[in-house]
């Protein structure tokens, strides 16, 4: 069976102040390995946008919907083995449901969506980490989401060894992916950086070892430039 993969289309945006009801929200995703500070930066950006009058929906994958919570428990906490292809399909199934029921409706009503992980994580973790292939995994997610790409993807880059030290300091049990060997996480990091190099217009790559406040300032600057651009028309995520 051949998947008809749509051309990816950004989740379009317009400024909150004076934003018409027909204008769409901004879709921002945070990517990077575990322990790089994605949740911290997502929270800081949410506060910054909210203080400026934006309606913000903050979510994550997997786990951003009721279905996603169930999928998250399987892919991250299942004690038995999960075949790599099955793992990729589970993430894609969650993504399809999450985009259809949470993200698109929010963008359509003019809310900005800040999301922890999206299809780039699947490409890095399953495509590179599980060695399933970049194009195969990416095409699966593009098909599952109807071609929706973020307006901005913030990649927080950090040496996996340093990230692991942060996770160990949290004194929490590691999930299935966090427990993988260092070679796996090295491959994931390399793939994230390769994805960013291939799409420099969509990605903002930041050194996650820097002070969180400084990182937040850089992210806010990039988001401000996106908010200042003319708001497009049409339905959310229409492929070209």
- Cβ 152 vs Cβ 28: under 8 Å: yes
Average pLDDT over residues 173-201: 83
Question: In the CATH scheme, what is the homologous superfamily, with its name and number, of domain 9-227?
Answer: P-loop containing nucleotide triphosphate hydrolases (3.40.50.300)
In this prediction, what percent of the chain has a pLDDT beyond 70?
80
Residue-wise pLDDT tens digits, 66-118: 888 888 888 776 667 889 999 899 989 999 999 999 999 999 999 999 999 99
Residue 100 sits at the vertex; the CA angle it makes with 19 and 16, to the nearest 5 degrees, is: 10
pLDDT at position 12 over 50: no
Q: 118-122, 172-176, 217-221: which has the minimum mean pLDDT? A: 172-176
In this prediction, what percent of the chain has a pLDDT beyond 90?
61
Distance CA 17, CA 11 (A): 18
DSSP string spanning the chain?
A: ----PPPPEE-----STT--TTS---EEEEE-STTSSHHHHHHHHHHHHHHTT--EEEEETTTSSHHHHHHHHHHHH-SS---HHHHHHHHHHHHHHHIIIIIHHHHHTT-EEEEE--HHHHIIIIIIIS---HHHHHHHHHHHTTSEE-SEEEEEE--HHHHHHHHHHHT----TTTTS-HHHHHHHHHHHHHHHHH-TTTEEEEETTS-HHHHHHHHHHHHHHHHTSPPP-SSTT---
pLDDT at position 238 over 60: no
Average pLDDT over residues 228-233: 65
Average pLDDT over residues 142-150: 97
- Cβ 8 vs Cβ 148: under 8 Å: yes
pTM: 0.83
Residue 69 has a pLDDT of 86
């Amino acid at each position: 069976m051949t998947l008809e993969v749509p051309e990816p289309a950004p989740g379009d945006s317009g400024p909150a102040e004076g934003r018409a009801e027909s204008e769409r929200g901004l879709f921002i995703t945070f990517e990077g390995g575990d322990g790089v500070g994605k949740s911290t930066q997502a929270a800081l950006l949410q506060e910054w946008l909210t203080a400026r009058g934006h309606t913000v929906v903050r979510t994550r994958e997997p786990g951003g919907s009721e279905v996603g919570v169930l999928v998250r428990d399987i892919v991250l906490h299942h004690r038995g083995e999960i075949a790599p292809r099955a793992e990729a399909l589970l993430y894609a199934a969650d993504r399809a449901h999450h985009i259809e029921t949470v993200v698109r409706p929010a963008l359509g009503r003019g809310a900005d969506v800040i999301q922890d992980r999206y299809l780039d994580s699947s490409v890095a973790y399953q495509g590179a980490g599980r060695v399933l292939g970049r194009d195969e995994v990416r095409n699966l997610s593009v098909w599952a989401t109807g071609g929706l790409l973020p307006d901005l993807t913030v990649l927080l880059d950090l040496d996996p060894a340093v990230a692991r030290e942060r996770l160990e300091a949290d004194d929490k049990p590691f999930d299935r992916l966090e427990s993988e060997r260092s070679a796996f996480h090295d491959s994931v990091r390399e793939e994230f950086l390769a994805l960013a190099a291939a799409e420099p217009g969509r990605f903002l790559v930041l050194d996650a070892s820097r002070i969180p406040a400084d990182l937040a300032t850089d992210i806010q600057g990039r988001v401000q430039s996106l908010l200042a651009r003319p708001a497009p028309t049409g339905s959310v995520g229409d492929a070209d």
